[in-house]
């Protein structure tokens, strides 16, 4: 199986199941035009985020890692008009592109510029938590910290989703010194030993290569 086939099959499903959408299509176009890295979720993964948020009946969402706002728009679409999504982004250029892309969702989406480990304590102090869904998709070395914050900002029943937990299979390389691989491995181990969650992880192939996501539900009162 080749990347070409994975991409073609992703295109097949996207053409069938993910109709073109002006705001989402524009977000991808402006992100690429501004030279942002192509690290957004794929269209069919974005739709999965929407469906998971809908299944969860989420009213409050926290996203760590905005990039150009592509996944943000997908997640925000699941929310009722009085719902709230806070998204955290450290790179001013990414945030600027995202702000333009989420302009139509300004009643729902609140983008916070800064290192997530600096903005997360502020969010905890503001009393916006608990969040119904938390999407972790920023700098992978900090994933263990993001899991701790996700738990702190959760309630029983909150859903925690983390992107990029496979990284082309590097996740099982015990000798890796790549800080991202180390961060993801530690995150997976913490998820496994954490008594407050029930979790699994799924490998994926597609237009974004070979990767995967972890999904956890908080099973205890926080």
- By CB under 6 A, name the binding residues for ligand SAH: 39-41, 65-67, 70-71, 88-91, 94, 115-116, 137-139, 142
Tokens of 125: 């102090």
Site string for ligand DHB, 83-122 (x = CB under 6 A): ----------------------------------------
DSSP 3-state assignment of 39?
coil
> How open is the CA angle 130-191-183, to the nearest 5 degrees?
100
- On the question of a cis peptide bond just before residue 110, with omega within 30 degrees of 0, the verdict is no
Binding mask 149-188 for Mg ion (x = CB under 5 A): --------------xx------------------------
159-163 and 109-113 as β-strands: parallel, antiparallel, unpaired?
unpaired
Give exposure, 134-144, as e/b (b: 16+ Cβ within 10 Å): bbbbbbbbbbb
Give the integer Cα–Cα distance in Å for 170 and 140.
13
**Which range in 20-28, 111-119, 136-144, 153-161 contacts Mg ion by CB under 5 A?**
136-144
Q: Which does 75 bind (CB under 5 to 8 A by kind): ligand DHB, Mg ion, ligand SAH, none?
A: none
Q: Considering beta carbons, is residue 65 or 83 the nearer one to ligand DHB? A: 65
For residue 72, the minimal CB distance to ligand SAH (Å) is 7
Q: Which residues of 74-101 are buried (b: 16+ CB within 10 A; e: fewer)?
A: bbbbbbeeebbbbbbbbeeebbebbbeb
Q: Which of 89, 132, 137, 194 binds Mg ion (CB under 5 A)?
A: 137
Min dist CB 139 to ligand SAH, Å, is: 3
Q: Smaller CB distance to ligand SAH: residue 31 or 158?
A: 31
Binding mask 136-155 for ligand DHB (x = CB under 6 A): -x------------------
Question: Any idea what DSSP says for residue 137?
Answer: -
When asked if residue 163 is in the footprint of ligand DHB (CB under 6 A), the reply is yes
Interatomic CA distance for residues 64 and 76, integer angstroms: 14
Does 89 contact Mg ion by CB under 5 A? no
Residues found near ligand DHB in the complex (CB under 6 A): 39, 137, 163-164
């Amino acid at each position: 199986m080749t990347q070409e086939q994975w991409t073609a099959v992703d295109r097949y499903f996207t053409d069938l199941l993910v109709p073109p959408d002006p705001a989402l299509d524009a977000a991808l176009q402006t992100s690429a035009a501004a030279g942002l890295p192509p690290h957004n979720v794929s269209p069919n993964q974005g739709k999965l985020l929407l469906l998971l948020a809908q299944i969860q009946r989420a009213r409050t969402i926290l996203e760590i890692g905005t990039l150009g706002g592509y996944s943000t728009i997908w997640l925000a679409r699941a929310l009722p008009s009085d719902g709230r999504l806070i998204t955290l982004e450290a790179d001013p250029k990414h945030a600027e592109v995202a702000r333009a892309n989420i302009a139509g969702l300004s009643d729902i989406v609140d983008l916070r510029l800064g290192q997530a480990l600096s903005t997360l304590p502020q969010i905890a102090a503001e009393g916006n938590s608990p969040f119904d869904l938390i999407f972790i998709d920023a700098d992978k070395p900090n994933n263990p910290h993001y899991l701790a914050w996700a738990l702190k900002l959760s309630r029983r029943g909150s859903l925690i989703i983390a992107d990029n937990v496979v990284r082309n299979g590097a996740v099982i390389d015990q000798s890796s010194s790549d800080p991202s691989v180390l961060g993801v491995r530690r995150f997976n181990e913490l998820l496994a030993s954490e008594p407050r969650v029930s979790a699994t992880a799924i490998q994926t192939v597609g237009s974004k290569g070979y990767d995967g996501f972890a999904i956890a539900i908080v099973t205890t009162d926080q």
